[in-house]
A = this chain, B = another copy of it.
């Protein structure tokens, strides 16, 4: 094992009607609230009204920034930060999925400063303080509700980057599985893909950590045991809660203990597909992961085979990859570029953008030739 620090100060409130406690918790921080959310879905599902009732119960003064995009962009984050700064808010309240909560984290550290949020991403500036962040999650996927990470996209610089800082841990996150029952089939599946991919990034990271490996297996098994059933029964509360909790554990730190880093090469490559073709994050991962494992098949055959043995009871790397493809297909996710509507004619454009963004892993470094081979596996 590598030396490590295990630290996660987020208080996770999980269960049926759990947001009944939200107003009381917000009031502990103040009553001027920047409410951040995405397009219109929280209004359609009634979640918006439930949250407003909680805010009204504490006589909160609410400033709203709606319209955060599924792949959040720096322009929105900067605009919301200006609103929060000018309104002197006590709390940033995020209600939505990963994109909304990620945005809220960056807004919370950008409110106290006068520059663009991107300066944190480019490394030009370091955050010194943050407005407290409270999250209400409506989609099981990214794990952002219990970690300090946020992904942001910058179309001008053609970048989509993941970044994190301890100031970005939400103080509280509220997870009501009932809030996720209206998530459509495809996004439910992309969320499952995302949580599985987070586990795999840890598994293929740097450093030998046998118990963290066992936790990876436990979480992926939970997704395999319950994910396909959920896709056939989207209103099932019990299945929603299992997938929701699995998605939180997949990226709250416990799979990483004893490793120097995760790999994140697949996420790096997936971000490029989202950047270029605006495809959902989870769908990018189910295309890239099998391709990446094919690229690694003869480099780390035992590591991939062990994963297959623990998860699927198969005995070699190729069969493990086949099993993952089978699982991703079972949850109706694309495993090749063209299944996501991306023509192989885009090969050069993808290659150029991946090279420009220096796509690579933190453990398994990718050369230019590797990226070409990765692309060929993605084309199939």
Measured CB to CB, the residues of A under 8 A from B are: 1-16, 18, 146, 210-211, 214-215, 217-219, 221-222, 225-226, 238, 241-242, 245-246, 249, 254, 257-258
A11-B7, A12-B6 as given contacts; A246 in contact with B211, CB under 8 Å: yes
Contact assessment for A254 and B257 in the assembled complex, using a CB-CB cutoff below 8 Å:
no
Instruction: Give A213's nearest chain B residue, CB to CB.
Output: B218
Contact assessment for A1 and B241 in the assembled complex, using a CB-CB cutoff below 8 Å:
yes
Interface centre among A6, A13, A225, A226 (most CB of B within 10 A): A6
Q: For residue A2, which residues in chain B have a CB less than 8 angstroms away from its CB?
A: 15
Q: Which of B18, B211, B249 contacts A3 (CB 8 A)?
A: B18
CB-defined A-B contacts under 8 Å, sample of 6: A4-B15, A5-B12, A6-B14, A210-B242, A211-B222, A214-B222
Contact assessment for B3 and A14 in the assembled complex, using a CB-CB cutoff below 8 Å:
yes
Contact assessment for A214 and B221 in the assembled complex, using a CB-CB cutoff below 8 Å:
yes
Instruction: Give A221's nearest chain B residue, CB to CB.
Output: B214
A210-B225, A210-B242, A211-B242 as given contacts; A11 in contact with B15, CB under 8 Å: no
Contact assessment for B249 and A211 in the assembled complex, using a CB-CB cutoff below 8 Å:
yes
CA distance A245 to B2 in the complex (A): 12
Q: For residue A211, which residues in chain B have a CB less than 8 angstroms away from its CB?
A: 218-219, 222, 242, 245-246, 249
Q: Which of B4, B11, B221, B242 contacts A14 (CB 8 A)?
A: B4
Interface centre among A3, A211, A217 (most CB of B within 10 A): A211
CA distance A13 to B2 in the complex (A): 11
Query: Chain B's nearest CB lies how many Å from the CB of A133?
Result: 15
Contact assessment for B210 and A222 in the assembled complex, using a CB-CB cutoff below 8 Å:
yes
Q: For residue A12, which residues in chain B have a CB less than 8 angstroms away from its CB?
A: 5-7
Query: Chain B's nearest CB lies how many Å from the CB of A242?
Result: 6
CA distance A156 to B324 in the complex (A): 61
